[in-house]
Chains A and B, each alone.
Chain A
Amino acid sequence: MKIEWWILLSAFTVTTGILFFIQKNKIRLALVAFLFKQVITFLMGAVVVEFGLIEYPVRLFASINRTSFTYEYYVLPVICAAFNVWYPTNKSTLIQLSYYVGYSSVLTIIEVIIEEYTALIKYIHWEWYITWITVCFVFFISHLFCIWFFAKEKGRA
């Protein structure tokens, strides 16, 4: 088996592993973050491939889909769920900011390494910092959405 398939397999395994660490009382929060992230990646993933910004030479469902199903359907949404579940809500702004920077940086570094050394992803008109900015921004949006979703409605107990 080629290295690319091993990476995909381990991506599935590791992200599934993350799911087991999510506390039972936060499953609903995790699910909302997961689904919300999918809404964004479904569309954006198609757009970046359609306009030739990124290519995924090795991928699942290769015959009908040129986007990265693994990343967009599973890996990124699960990480987004983890992001929201363990978000340091009551900590200082500095800690919250570094939480964002940490998640975005780790994801970007892994993506750049994968881009450089494997055929899983190929930047065409894309740069590492665009990944960083978009990932960070989408985390932010997802966090706002989760806060809104679980906020108690005004006027109701």
Chain B
Amino acid sequence: MLMERLILVAMWLFGFVGFILFIPRKNRRKGLFAFMMFQSIIWLCDMPAFKYGLLSAPIREFPKATDLALTINYFFYPALFSIFYVHKKVKDGLWSRFAYFFVWVSIITLCDIVIERYTDLLEYGLLTWYGMWIYIGFLFFVSRVCCNWFFKDNTLFHGKQT
């Protein structure tokens, strides 16, 4: 129980520090938007995933209110995605872009598997390790497409006032 709590605190800490360190000031908006986009999508996808027993979170922050893993869904993975999104290179070739995506998704899946195996923060039900890779890859890909759409026309984006 103590270890799980410490990991959750570490996730918040690393998320914050990572966001501040790895997202340059001029990309704050981009980073924040990517963060919110990913959060929205993982929230939507995790609802059915938890409902149909793909995975579960035995130890969680708000056990009475929700069965979802709040720190991971709400903060940690969105923060990682925003770092991923801000640092991706648009001009690189298809292969290096794919490698970038592949490495990020693989590392996060690896973390996820380690957390699943050694703590009670996550518990896979029907999901396997490659299922998790596909799931995280899917979340990253969909969020990336949505963010790319949002930022595709930079003049449009900055030329508008509320």
By a beta-carbon cutoff of 8 Å, the part of chain A in contact with chain B is 25-26, 28-29, 31-32, 35-36, 38-39, 42-43, 45-47, 49-50, 52, 60-61, 63-67, 69, 73, 84, 87, 89, 143, 146-147, 149-153
Question: Is B139 an interface residue, CB under 8 A from the partner?
Answer: no
Given contacts A47-B65, A50-B62, A84-B162, is CB(A149)–CB(B29) below 8 Å?
A: yes
* Shortest Cβ gap from A149 to chain B (Å): 6
Q: Contact check, A64 vs B47: say whether CB atoms are below 8 A apart.
A: yes
Q: Contact check, B160 vs A150: say whether CB atoms are below 8 A apart.
A: yes
Checking B47, B150, B157 against A65 with a beta-carbon cut-off of 8 angstroms, the contacting residue is B47
Q: How large is the interface on B (under 10, 10 to 19, 20 to 34, 35 or more residues)?
A: 20 to 34
* Shortest Cβ gap from B162 to chain A (Å): 5
Q: Contact check, B36 vs A39: say whether CB atoms are below 8 A apart.
A: yes
Q: Contact check, A66 vs B162: say whether CB atoms are below 8 A apart.
A: no
Give Cα A25–Cα B51 distance, bound, in whole angstroms: 37
* Shortest Cβ gap from A63 to chain B (Å): 6
Give Cα A64–Cα B52 distance, bound, in whole angstroms: 10
Contacts of A87 in B (CB 8 A): 162
Question: Is B101 an interface residue, CB under 8 A from the partner?
Answer: no
Give Cα A45–Cα B51 distance, bound, in whole angstroms: 19
Contacts of A147 in B (CB 8 A): 162
